[in-house]
A and B are shown apart, each in its own frame.
Chain A
Amino acid sequence: MSLLRLEQVSVAYGAIRALHGVDLEVREGEIVSLLGANGAGKSTILRAVSRMLPLQGGDILLGGRSVRATPAHELVALGVAHVPEGRGIFPSLTVQENLALATWTRRERRHVEEATRRVFRLFPRLAERRTQAGGTLSGGEQQMLAVGRALMTGCRLLLLDEPSMGLSPLLVREVFRAFQEINAEGTTLLLVEQNAHMALKIAHRGCVLENGRIVLEGPAAELAGHPRVREAYLGEAGASSPPCPGTPGSSR
């Protein structure tokens, strides 16, 4: 069953069009990875879904219901959590406060306790750092906190924007293992990644974006074998040039 559906979604930053009529479907229980170069519009898709950006055209359906007019904070109550690019930790709040704030829409004691246990089980390091200010954590710990915080909302759909950015290969593996576990526990993941290897390894399906359009999509294993993906994103087969150098840095 489709949990999230984008229909002909267009988004612009001022006069610059970032997405041109994107269609995308994410089914319940899936991990879907979005691949593409810088500025291809991957982050923009996530920001459009979490309603941080207004739509210029098209519609976004969550469980069949349009959320086009839903403000960002209400989307959280509908089960969508977004881990933004750069993690978005509140630096002056402690780890515990960062986690607690995400229970704003779900304050029942049972949910808070269960979610806290789950987050500390997935990321034991956060439990050790409980009373430490978010800004004093290492990059990897901050990423864990950002993901843990998203889980505290009790989300059905988790949007992850470049979770591997700035992490050591070891930490990347640790974080991605947690993603698989989160998914196995029933949460649907929509993942934006530069690290195409890891992204396709854990995903069920993948999409490739170029210049604000989806140019390829299919099962992750198939995409990983596709010559175009192998050349452009997996760095194989004598990759000569990046796929779309025309739009530098327009993803933010």
Chain B
Amino acid sequence: METVVQQLLNAAQLGAVYALIALGYSMVYGVIRLINFAHGDIFMVGGFAGLLLALRFTWMPLWALMPLAMLLTALLGVAIERVAYRRLRQAQRMSLVITALGVGIFLENLVRLGVGPETRQIPSRMPTTPVAWLQDALGVSVTWDKLLIIFVSLALMALLWAVVHRTLLGTAMRAVADDKDVVPLMGVNLNRVIAVTFAIGSALAAAGGVFFGQAYSLDPYMGIDLGWKAFIAAVIGGIGSIEGAVLGSFLLAGVEVLTVAYLSSNLKNGIAFGLLILLLLIWPSGLLGRPASKKV
């Protein structure tokens, strides 16, 4: 029983990181119908931004370091959209996808060149003592950092949900997803809404990167594997849907962690990708996605 709870918390931590990445995939797809294949690498850059800040400003507490890493990565996301994607918005889908892949490779090599190819870890800025009350109540030993990662991630997701559903900016983002040609007729600057979407998506990915760098480790190519996983999570949940991205992420992390714990770590990816295929056979537009029917 203890180990099950323990495994579920591990899954929640991993799922939280997946979700922070998956949200960016989903949001960007929602506004410009692009699978931003550079997004996993933006997550990686976010982690390294956290690492460099932590090494350089050893006095800086996490609550200052993380927003700073998020801000820097948000600027990177906006710059990528401005420089690489915007002028291709009217071009063929394929040009945009290839460009995204190229941007990803560029970022991987940029970080490898600048920081080095080694695996690094962000020196922990979070308390790593066990949570006493959880130990007493359930008999499981969980450290504070794990709990913090889970709850701060959930708080960020709740904040995003509130922005998207309760503000005029969020209304504009959903309107762009519905019909971006009409949006300027409302007086809304389409380019700015798209830029903000990239900024938010990149900032969330950076938060995931900083958490991942503390809980696990960082290397310049980690964005490939984790990016794919988060992308799968977004597709399982229904790409374009915020709730779907979160649901898919926790589902995928749960399947992975439980497979490793009770079956075999070799089966982890096989089962994760198998799940994707199976779920998409049953729900082609994802668990919470809108059916891709053309409106008349």
**Distance of A50 Cα from B186 Cα, bound (Å):** 11
Q: What's the minimum C-beta distance from B182 to chain A, rounded to whole angstroms? A: 4
Q: A100-B168, A101-B168, A107-B168 are in contact. Are A88 and B185 (CB under 8 A)?
A: yes
What separation, in Å, do the CA atoms of A101 and B180 have in the docked complex? 13
Contact A76 B178 (CB under 8 A): no
Residue B184 is within 8 A (CB to CB) of chain A in the complex: yes
Nearest Cβ in chain A — how far from B197, in angstroms? 15
Indicate if A6 sits at the interface (CB-CB under 8 A): no
Chain B contacts for A105, CB-based, 8 A: 187
B252 within 8 A of A: no
Q: How distant is the Cα of A46 from the Cα of B188 in the complex, in angstroms?
A: 19
**Is B189 on the interface with A (CB-CB < 8 A)?**
yes
* Most A CB within 10 A of own CB, among B181, B182, B185: B185
Give the chain A neighbours of B239 by CB distance below 8 A: none
- Most chain-B Cβ atoms within 10 A of its Cβ — which of A77, A102, A107? A102
Contact B182 A84 (CB under 8 A): yes
A104 touches B185 (CB 8 A): no
In the complex, per-residue mask of B168-206: 1 if CB is within 8 Å of any chain A CB, else 0:
100110110111011111111110000000000000000
Q: How far is the CB of A185 from chain B (nearest CB, A)?
A: 20
- Contact A93-B175, Cβ < 8 Å, known A72-B184, A72-B185, A104-B187: yes
A73 close to B178 (CB less than 8 A): no
Instruction: Render B212-256 as a binary contact track against A, CB cut-off 8 A, 1 for contact.
Output: 000000000000000000000000000000000000000000000
CA distance A72 to B188 in the complex (A): 9
Residue A90 lies at the interface, judged by CB distance under 8 Å to chain B = yes
Q: How far is the CA of A250 from the CA of B179 in the complex (A)?
A: 22
The answer to whether the Cβ of A63 comes within 8 Å of any Cβ in the partner chain is no
Selected from B175, B185, B186, B295, the residue in CB contact (under 8 A) with A135 is B295
| Docked complex Cα distance between A135 and B290 (Å) | 13
- Chain B residue contacts of A93, Cβ below 8 A: 171, 174-175, 178
Interface centre among A74, A76, A90, A149 (most CB of B within 10 A): A90
Q: Which of B181, B183, B189, B295 contacts A91 (CB 8 A)?
A: B295
A188 CB within 8 Å of chain B:
no
A81 touches B175 (CB 8 A): no
Please tell me which one of the listed residues B168, B177, B185 contacts residue A92 in the complex, with CB atoms under 8 A apart.
B177
For this complex, 13 residue pairs linking A to B, each with C-beta atoms less than 8 Å apart, are A52-B184, A73-B190, A76-B186, A88-B182, A92-B174, A93-B171, A93-B178, A97-B174, A103-B168, A104-B172, A104-B187, A104-B188, A135-B295
